[in-house]
A and B are shown apart, each in its own frame.
Chain A
């Protein structure tokens, strides 16, 4: 445990991810997400290409420079001290700008607004609820479970059978990542994709 608190981060080890979709199902069930809303998705790239195919689990990466927060016209996003990026659904107008800004396709728009438009945005909260009273019924209904407040691990990472998906203080996650790379004897010593900033060339 580091004394200096850094940011909470997700990391998916694509060397370990077996495309079981356990994280997706755990997330959808725990937060009782409506059909069509996927806070977390497992994507497979280079499908069918021998030796190149791999799967990885994608959700909100809780970016340090969160582009969603920068473009929101109503400023409904807020970043907790531990780096978890959350938003207030009572302020959100469902315009979709955060989705345009997001490099990971994290913001979700349930089709429940008037005239077939999309309602307030929904996204991964890293199981940290929302701005309403912690562990209240209202918070649970709007944002899902608040496990962080109870000191528990977000359901997706807790569920992951191969421990490909890990979550926690960035330094701790980085240590695990470094140990794994050292054991494997391959890989890169650097921050995982999306950890430092969302965009950059």
Chain B
């Protein structure tokens, strides 16, 4: 399992591996091989290793991979979208036609509360990841505190978001089709793409942000409070320190997905589709945009006579 994970991370890190840590963790023999009365008896070594389930894995990943992968995601996603913008370009739709209310005021408030949380949490998280380059100290320390404080804002928004968007975000069969045609984003031609109120990409982001967000909250809180006892560690057969190590590993891995999809979401709403930001401000989408980008939803509205 550990090796599979490492393999995946190696592949993920890709071209960014050049910036990975330079210090290799040598596999020294610390447990004396010959038996008898050991200087530090075997019991102690076993005891320490028991408390060390994820110690070396965490050290290895943090020292060599996590920063490199974050950098790879930042650069990689940026380059992909820059190329997309230059080659395929933004899609624009006529906003002169009829407008349809798609986001109620309540949902917009939830969205922007979550947005506020993300806009603070993600950059402050990255400041901590690249704390070395930023010199550490007060600046990074404040980033860490903000990271924690805005988690409260995130918690406030995540539950209503999960509850009120739940049905619209359930996966459907035409989502597969959407994924295979990459949402129509790879061609300049405006064609009807199969999507309900939310397309497969939005759904992906939604589930990573909500369910993944919950994992982030729980693992983050564990690391923030360090010492707590809700019987979680013992129920998993871990020591508290190993629970924290596992939390740190999971927090970083989920952060890869959250970061990548957050940048994607920003690009799509700010650049890829002109005027889509307005729809989350006013709540209205143009009929033209719905017809092509959310064709299933559009047909349903038409059938119901709402347009």
Residues of A participating in the B interface, judged by any CB pair closer than 8 Å: 14, 45-46, 52, 54, 56, 65, 67, 70-76, 88, 90-97, 99-105, 109, 113-118, 177, 181, 186-188, 190, 192-194, 196-201
Contacts and interface: CB of A to CB of B under 8 A. Distances in A.
Given A71-B63, A101-B55, A117-B224, 9 more contacts: A76-B136, A92-B136, A100-B58, A100-B62, A100-B245, A101-B59, A101-B62, A117-B148, A199-B55
Contacts of B225: 116-117
Nearest to B67: A73
18 contacts: A14-B40, A67-B55, A70-B23, A73-B136, A75-B136, A76-B136, A96-B223, A96-B226, A97-B62, A99-B241, A100-B245, A101-B59, A105-B241, A115-B145, A118-B226, A186-B36, A187-B37, A193-B45
B25 A14 contact: no
A131 B184 CA distance: 58
B126 to A, nearest CB: 11
Interface of B: 21, 23, 25-32, 34, 36-41, 43-45, 47-48, 51-52, 54-56, 58-59, 62-63, 67, 128-132, 134-137, 140-141, 144-145, 148-149, 223-226, 241, 244-245, 248
Contacts of B56: 67, 199, 201
A54 B54 CA distance: 26
Given A70-B62, A70-B63, A99-B241, A93 B141 contact: yes
B222 to A, nearest CB: 10
B30 A91 contact: no
A23 B20 CA distance: 39
Main secondary structure of the interface of A (DSSP, over half): loop
Nearest to B144: A93
B26 A100 contact: no
Contacts of A177: 39
A65 B37 contact: no
A197 B26 contact: yes
A12 B149 CA distance: 43
B244 A100 contact: yes
Given A70-B23, A100-B245, A188-B32, A181 B58 contact: no
B25 to A, nearest CB: 6
A117 B227 CA distance: 10
B52 A190 contact: no
A96 B244 contact: yes
A188 B37 contact: yes
B145 A114 contact: yes
A121 to B, nearest CB: 11
Contacts of A194: 30
Nearest to A180: B39
Nearest to A192: B39
